[in-house]
Amino acid sequence: MDNQIKIGYPALDKILGGGLHPGEVTVVAGRYIPDIVLLNIILNNLFRNQVAIDNNATIILYSIYDAEDNANRLICIEAGYEMHSGTPSIAVQKKIQETIEHLKETNLYIENIVSVPIEKIVESTQSFAKNFGLDFIIIDSFNTFVKRKPPYHPFGDPDDAMRAANKIKQMAKDLDVPVLVAYYPLHAPESLNIADVCKPMLDMADNIISLYHNEETNILKAEVTKNGNGITGTVNLSFSNWWYKIRER
């Protein structure tokens, strides 16, 4: 397949020069909204379902959640069913089963990265690519590599951030595949900017997509603030809180 990965939203792909390019690192930065981890929703819509199904790509997803949690989230989003909302209707149960069968056809491999050093992830990814081939890597999230070391670095050690950013950047080049890195900029209180700690990853990224959700209008603004292949720009998307679905406006 063509190693350029299309996100699935034409306006956003156009700004990015056709999609995500091999050998490049793209950082997606999003914020929490009440009871929902916004960035995980974005990744599900933009970078998991669309890529795995539409591009027929072989993907490794390194996640702070385990495989079962991610699979359940994917299935519910695709089936239009809100998790923990009670027994689904017959129609929704049918859609869930169809979604499960559909996702079985994808080449999506999920690994938990909590407490796993970046060096180990790079090693296992290189081994996987050698044995099975690889088209796309998702890391959710970069923050997990930045250890908190009170009292000097209560929100993360800059040396950890620099080392992890270097490793991720080199891995993308060595394997010549797109790497998407999720980054949560507001884990720390707003008075302490964690972006200062994770700045090495932002500096080394080829592309940065910042996400802003307006809860009143449910407009999700995807702003390409850094683009190694062309122009910067903004795309407005419609966001459904109920099904966590996103579409172009």
Residue 42 CA to chain centroid, in angstroms?
7
216 phi and psi, to 5 degrees? -75, -40
Q: What is the pLDDT of residue 129?
A: 96
User: Using CA atoms, how far apart are residues 59 and 179, in angstroms rounded to an integer?
Assistant: 10
Q: The tokens of 29 are what?
A: 């930065």
User: Using CA atoms, how far apart are residues 166 and 168, in angstroms rounded to an integer?
Assistant: 6
Greater confidence, 245 or 229?
229
Go through 23-40 and write b for each residue having 16 or more CB atoms within 10 A of its CB, e for each that does not: bbbbbbbbeeeeeebbbb
User: Using CA atoms, how far apart are residues 41 and 38, in angstroms rounded to an integer?
Assistant: 5
Q: 29 lies in a domain?
A: yes
Q: What is the pLDDT of residue 191?
A: 41
Q: 53 lies in a domain?
A: yes
Q: What is the pLDDT of residue 32?
A: 52
pLDDT digits (tens, 9 = 90+) for 154-208: 567 778 889 999 999 999 999 999 999 988 764 444 444 555 677 888 899 999 9
Contact call for residues 48 and 91 (beta carbons, < 8 A): no
User: Per-residue pLDDT averaged across 214-238, rounded?
Assistant: 86
Q: The tokens of 249 are what?
A: 């406006």
Q: What is the pLDDT of residue 35?
A: 39
Q: 4 lies in a domain?
A: no
Q: Which distant-in-sequence residues (6+ apart) come within 8 Å of 2 by Cβ?
A: none
pLDDT digits (tens, 9 = 90+) for 36-63: 445 555 555 555 555 666 667 888 888 8
Question: Per-residue pLDDT for 79 more than 50?
Answer: yes
Q: Is 227 helix (H, G, I), strand (E, B) or coil?
A: strand
Q: The tokens of 59 are what?
A: 């993907």
* CATH code of the domain covering residue 164: 3.40.50.300
Q: What is the pLDDT of residue 153?
A: 55
How many Cβ atoms are within 10 Å of 192's Cβ, its own excluded? 11
Q: How confident is the model at residue 34 (pLDDT cuts 50, 70, 90)?
A: very low
Q: 33 lies in a domain?
A: yes
> How many domains does the structure of the chain reveal?
1
Domain of residue 91, residue span: 10-248
pLDDT digits (tens, 9 = 90+) for 80-131: 777 667 788 888 888 888 878 877 777 888 888 888 999 999 999 999 999 9
